[in-house]
Amino acid sequence: MDQFESKIVRNLPDLLMNDWKNIFLSELGESYFSSLQSKLSEKMHLEEVYPPVNAIFNAFNLCSFADTKVVIIGQDPYHGKGQAHGLCFSVPTGIPLPPSLRNIKKELYLDFDVFLESQDGDLSQWAKQGVLMLNAILTVSDSKPGSHVDLGWQKLTSMAIEKISQEKEHVVFLLWGNYAQQLAKHVDPQKHLLIKSSHPSPLSANRGGWFGNRPFSKTNEYLVAHEMKAINWL
């Protein structure tokens, strides 16, 4: 790692580009966040870490707090080279679709009764419409899923979920699988809509509870009912 990249790792808050920076202001000064940056920097010296440093906060930078009206929660980034770019379940254009994303696309087409064969896994256009595509853990080491579980990211991302729950109304939380559903404790169900289903991974989806749960049309119905613009998911 060159000196410039190392400097960026020690100044992660500089990578936040919108109103989330002010929301996180108190957290960014906490000792756990300094520890997180040090641990992350150390890992980056020893092994390949994803996503690239400048994409770690993509979920926040592409979807401001003010614009957030849907939240999709993942666990941690894809751990294969070139896959992770800071949005849960999404991959950059040109990268083959991981199995979970393939099943997300299948359910999307079933939900809206369309026949599409798009192999583009970049879901940035969702984020730009107000979908916060948040992994609870924002980084991962190459080929080691869950390897950054002890860095401290969950404290920051749980705070983000709590802030949305407390200060906004009528946000849709799409909770796919047990891990995401455990984070429902941070959300007030009286103010927001929680749509729970099994995880789109093949093992979980094939057991039932994923295909046919229609999360995308249900989300749009709720948004429109509360006088918000529907998401163009396709």
Q: Are residues 170 and 191 in contact, defined by beta-carbon separation less than 8 angstroms? A: yes
Q: Are residues 8 and 54 in contact, defined by beta-carbon separation less than 8 angstroms? A: yes
Mean pLDDT of 80-106: 97
- The contacts found for 126-130 with CB under 8 angstroms, 24 or more apart, are 126/70, 126/90, 126/231, 126/233, 127/58, 127/59, 127/62, 127/63, 127/87, 128/62, 128/63, 129/229, 129/231, 129/232, 130/63, 130/67, 130/68, 130/69, 130/70, 130/231
Would residue 123 count as lying in a domain? yes
**What is the spatial distance between Cα 232 and Cα 224, in angstroms, rounded to a whole number?**
12
Tokens representing 57 are 């906060």
Would residue 20 count as lying in a domain? yes
Question: Cα torsion for 212, 86, 153, 187, to the nearest 10°?
Answer: -40
Is the model more confident about 170 or about 204?
Answer: 170
- Residue 7: per-residue pLDDT: 43
**Is residue 11 pLDDT above 60, yes or no?**
yes
- Residue 1: per-residue pLDDT: 42
Would residue 83 count as lying in a domain? yes
CATH number at residue 100: 3.40.470.10
- Per the rule left: phi > 0, alpha: psi between -120 and 50, beta: everything else, 232 is beta
- Rounded mean pLDDT of the chain? 92
pLDDT band at residue 206, thresholds of 50, 70 and 90? confident
**Is residue 3 pLDDT above 70, yes or no?**
no
**What is the spatial distance between Cα 234 and Cα 230, in angstroms, rounded to a whole number?**
12
Question: What confidence tens digit (pLDDT) does each residue in 39-74 have?
Answer: 999 999 999 999 999 999 999 999 999 999 999 999
- Residue 6: per-residue pLDDT: 45
- Residue 9: per-residue pLDDT: 59
Q: Are residues 27 and 162 in contact, defined by beta-carbon separation less than 8 angstroms? A: no
Would residue 233 count as lying in a domain? no
Would residue 62 count as lying in a domain? yes
Q: Are residues 198 and 207 in contact, defined by beta-carbon separation less than 8 angstroms? A: yes
Would residue 4 count as lying in a domain? no
Question: What confidence tens digit (pLDDT) does each residue in 208-225 have?
Answer: 889 999 999 999 999 999
Q: Are residues 79 and 141 in contact, defined by beta-carbon separation less than 8 angstroms? A: yes
Q: Report the candidate in 163, 172, 143, 140 with the shortest Cα–Cα distance to residue 153.
A: 140
- The SS3 of residue 134 is strand
- Residue 10: per-residue pLDDT: 58
Catalytic residue among 76, 113, 150, 188: 76
Question: What confidence tens digit (pLDDT) does each residue in 174-189 have?
Answer: 999 999 999 999 999 9
Domain region containing 72: 12-226
- Residue 29: per-residue pLDDT: 81
Would residue 140 count as lying in a domain? yes
- Residue 28: per-residue pLDDT: 83
Would residue 163 count as lying in a domain? yes
Told to judge if 76 belongs to the known catalytic residues of this protein, a careful annotator would answer yes
Tokens representing 136 are 């609870």
Domains of the chain: total:
1
